[in-house]
Structure 1
Amino acid sequence: MDTAIILSAGKGSKMWPYAQIRPKSLISISNKPILIHQIELLKGAGFKHILVAVNQHEQAYRYALRNVEDVEIIQVGETEGNAQSLFLCLKKIECQRFLVMYGDIWLEKPDFDRFLKASKGSSALLLKHQETSRNYIGCNLHPDGTIKEIIGHSRSETSHHFLAFTLEQDIIPFLTKVSPIFPSVEVGMMPPDEVFLEAALVDWMDKGKKLEGLVCNLPAFDLDKPWHILQANYQNNEDICAQIKENVLNEGAEIDPSAMIDGFVRLGRNSKIGKNVIIEGNVWVGDHTEIKAGAILKGNNVIGDHCEIGYYCYIEAGSTIGHRCKVLHAAELSGVIFDGVYLYHYMEIAGIVGENTDIGAGTVCGSLRFDDSLSDQKVKSRREKVEGQDFANACYIGDYARTGVNAILLPGVKTGARSIVGPGVILSEDLGDGKIILLKQNTVIKDWGPEKYGW
């Protein structure tokens, strides 16, 4: 088996506001796009022919893969669902057996290699549900490890959902005749008009076929919603930084003797740790980045290339800083900032900040509510319960956005791509794409002078 198909043609609407300017599979985890990570896994396992099924953002894929060989982008257009996308890709190739992977999953290499080694026929790589089973097309397993049943968004608790498959030619007829409404749902559940690969597998299994299941042992992520980006970054940063067993200084890198480092650092080419920096734990730093002037890093941080970090800023444990970012002058960050983000002048950011976003002086993202409870997150107009203050109460700021001086974002709010939260605004509800919210101020002007003081 040397052919793999990555299904990446979905709209990613649940990931708002981060799938507006890019597809979900090009969102970065620890500064590496999901798709690039998947391709590296596939090539490392010996796959020679990799197809990526796309629809929107085709040029973004071509740009991201411009230096990657042996990957073919297949424009499938506006299909009726991923079953049809897969079928259109299979028309381009001839192979008896192939791997299918969803474009929004993050796997560890040991699990992926174990799956390929264990798979002899048709099989599925499974992840235990991260959230309620109502959020997934899920499955349950027989004691022998085969898939017992597949149910769409079950209220009665399926246990796992699908990340990848090894399939054979006998699935193809089922892809062409898949039900337009998911065939296996509980009464009262309302499936959309969409043809799913799992629906084809329901029909295929009804004909007596067996699908083996293998469950991930290591942390894996199905990145569907904004807080999944935070979860994956925290876990992956911990894994990356745990691999640093001693200081690693690449060409031109240096550490000032006054820096206090309780752990180890990996510095890329020409990167520097300057005077009075405090690092507690391990930190991975890219090329041409300078950390200086009393910056405080709590560890398990991954920092990109061409960044400037300093002047008594504070970086919370597990946070990720993208490429070409500035975090300066008493800025506090807990979470993830994408490429080209500027944070400085007394601010507190908790959550995610999208690409090329300029955060105004004194902007504050609140993460602790007065009632100490967790905020509901709104996804496609549906309120969802999210576990953990770091995720439920985080703020999610879109790409190419801005905030004005002293803007306040209350726990759990989101702002869309190319949006602006104006000076002094207290944002308590999500702000859509391409919107600006401004504060209307009532003022009073009166005469004033020495006579007010008895002169």
Structure 2
Amino acid sequence: MKAMILCGGSGKKIWPFNDKNQKSCLPVGGVPNVERIVRQLKRAEFEEITLITGYQEKQVKYLLRQYPGLHFLSATDANMNEVIAGQMSEDDGTLLYYGDIYLEDADLNHLLEVYQERGTSVLLERQVGNFDATNYICAAANEMVQAYYGHPRPHYVNARSGGVFALEGQMTEYIRNAPGRFLNMPVGGMSPDGFYLEQCLQTALEDGIEIAAVYVSEVFTDIDLPWDIMEANHLYCQHIVGSMREDKLAKGSEISSMAVIKGKISLGENSRIGDRVIIEGNCQIGNDTVIENGAIIGKNVVIGNNCLVQHYCKISDHTVIGNNNKIGYLAEVTGVTFDRVAAVHNCELYGVIGTNVDIAANCQTGIVKFNDAESWQKAGDKRYHSRFSNGVFIGDYTRTGICNVFLPGIKIGSNCALGPGFIADHDVASNSVIIVKQEIERREWGASKYGW
């Protein structure tokens, strides 16, 4: 069976992180998601893996340069169907895997088992429950799929596409003849032009072809919006790091007798946990990382390679710290940081912080201080909400200013510089400099006026 990973979309809804990244390359547990998928497919013994690239294809190839034998094909949305159809296996079937999907091995293996048992096309579906069905292409399905709908009402659908499809050879022509938009919608519904695999499957259903459905477990994220990065990493910490049952100490690693560790530790080569460090639960730590001098680490945390975490900072539960980070004096971090982030002075962060971001002293996110309620936020031209949508989302290569305050859900673009004292109550476009103008009012003061 062939496997194809679709990782060519521009990911506009995940701004600001699509400025510099193919969204399939965004990190989950400190590893680019597309690399995580390749590893997963190799564990499932797929020998032929093709990546369909487009936007930021050089990044995809660079991140996967250490995996020999992969095939890369470039496609646009206009010819995506032809490229996919040209690579499908007529005899052994084809697995199509969206590159922005995070799920565990058990769900993929279950999908493949059902495909082998039934000999029919199998889709991985997620049951409707915690999202607004009108924002997605959904399905009516039990063990078999009855239909796909765009902009559906919740009362006649019960599942959302899970982004992984095991397809028989007969599906090739349906994909080759894709209509270029989604068709099965209520009156007044509008579909952007483009390739929709679900429409190809809907056409097959209308022709009487049976398609089985397999439901994913709770460990699943479609990384489509900025806060989905937080959700995927939270799930990784909760289920992967949280399931660690023994310590793993690599060559050259060291743990001080004055450190307090309440969980299981995976400690990379030449990494050190120093004096007065408190680790409150399981923790996965990379190579050449130093954690010292009173740092407080929460439960089920990931800290990458070559990091320095010190001086009574606090890393909260289910947080992922990327590679080459410096987290220092009294900084508090919750969420996800990408590579090469510096937060070395008193600050409080909740959200997703992009690559090469400098967090200045006394920066604060609103949810930490005064508003932790779920909030509706805009992505593209639509509004969404989730348990993580009230974080702050700072794009790559941005510098914050001293005493910046970020209200819940604010997005700061890439390549920005924020001046001191800026209160971010609206999104900031990429490639912006924000300078706060100071208004001064002078009044008389002194002992002659206020003394005795």
Distance 1:313 1:452, change over 3 A: same
Q: Is this contact kept in 2: 1:51–1:89, CA < 8 A?
A: no
For 2:274 and 2:262, how far apart are their aligned partners in 1?
15
Q: How big is each residue's C-alpha offset from its partner over 1:270-290, in whole Å with a ceiling of 9 and x where there is no partner?
A: 000001001111111000000
Is 2:424 aligned against 1:427? yes
Q: How many residues align?
A: 444
Unpaired runs of 5+ residues, structure 1, are none
Task: Find the counterpart in structure 2 of residue 89 from structure 1.
Answer: 84
Q: How big is each residue's C-alpha offset from its partner over 1:350-387, in whole Å with a ceiling of 9 and x where there is no partner?
A: 11100110011111111058576432211113222x23
Is 2:375 aligned against 1:380? no
Which runs of structure 2 are paired with 1:113-262 in the superposition (5 Å)?
A: 113-119=109-115, 120-129=119-128, 130-142=130-142, 145-157=143-155, 158-162=157-161, 163-262=163-262
Q: How big is each residue's C-alpha offset from its partner over 1:12-53, in whole Å with a ceiling of 9 and x where there is no partner?
A: 111111111111110010101111111111111111111111
Cα deviation for residue 138 of structure 1 reads 0.9
Q: SS in structure 2 opposite 1:367?
A: helix
For 1:21 and 1:419, how far apart are their aligned partners in 2?
13
Which runs of structure 2 are paired with 1:317-396 in the superposition (5 Å)?
A: 317-367=317-367, 373-384=373-384, 386-388=385-387, 391-396=388-393
Cα deviation for residue 317 of structure 1 reads 0.5
Q: Is this contact kept in 2: 1:87–1:172, CA < 8 A?
A: no
Q: Is this contact kept in 2: 1:126–1:160, CA < 8 A?
A: yes
For 1:223 and 1:180, how far apart are their aligned partners in 2?
23
Q: SS in structure 1 opposite 2:50?
A: strand
Partner amino acid, structure 2, of 1:207: D
Partner amino acid, structure 2, of 1:131: F
Q: How big is each residue's C-alpha offset from its partner over 1:303-333, in whole Å with a ceiling of 9 and x where there is no partner?
A: 0000000100011101110000000000000
Q: Is this contact kept in 2: 1:283–1:299, CA < 8 A?
A: yes
Q: SS in structure 2 opposite 1:228?
A: helix
* TM-score between the two structures when normalised by the length of structure 2: 0.93
Partner amino acid, structure 1, of 2:357: T
Cα deviation for residue 168 of structure 1 reads 2.4
Is 2:283 aligned against 1:283? yes
Partner amino acid, structure 2, of 1:297: I
Distance 1:353 1:366, change over 3 A: same
Unpaired runs of 5+ residues, structure 2, are none
Task: Find the counterpart in structure 2 of residue 54 from structure 1.
Answer: 53
Q: SS in structure 2 opposite 1:212?
A: strand
Comparing 185-194 with 401-410, which one deviates more in the overlay?
Answer: 185-194
For 1:417 and 1:100, how far apart are their aligned partners in 2?
32
* TM-score between the two structures when normalised by the length of structure 1: 0.93
Task: Find the counterpart in structure 1 of residue 71 from structure 2.
Answer: 72
Comparing 240-249 with 275-284, which one deviates more in the overlay?
Answer: 240-249
Q: Is this contact kept in 1: 2:85–2:176, CA < 8 A?
A: no
Partner amino acid, structure 2, of 1:98: T
Cα deviation for residue 422 of structure 1 reads 1.5
Is 2:31 aligned against 1:32? yes
Cα deviation for residue 446 of structure 1 reads 8.3
Partner amino acid, structure 2, of 1:149: A
Which runs of structure 2 are paired with 1:18-29 in the superposition (5 Å)?
A: 18-29=17-28
Q: Is this contact kept in 2: 1:421–1:427, CA < 8 A?
A: no
Identity of aligned residues (%): 33
Q: How big is each residue's C-alpha offset from its partner over 1:97-135, in whole Å with a ceiling of 9 and x where there is no partner?
A: 111111110111111111101102211111224511112
Comparing 295-304 with 155-164, which one deviates more in the overlay?
Answer: 155-164
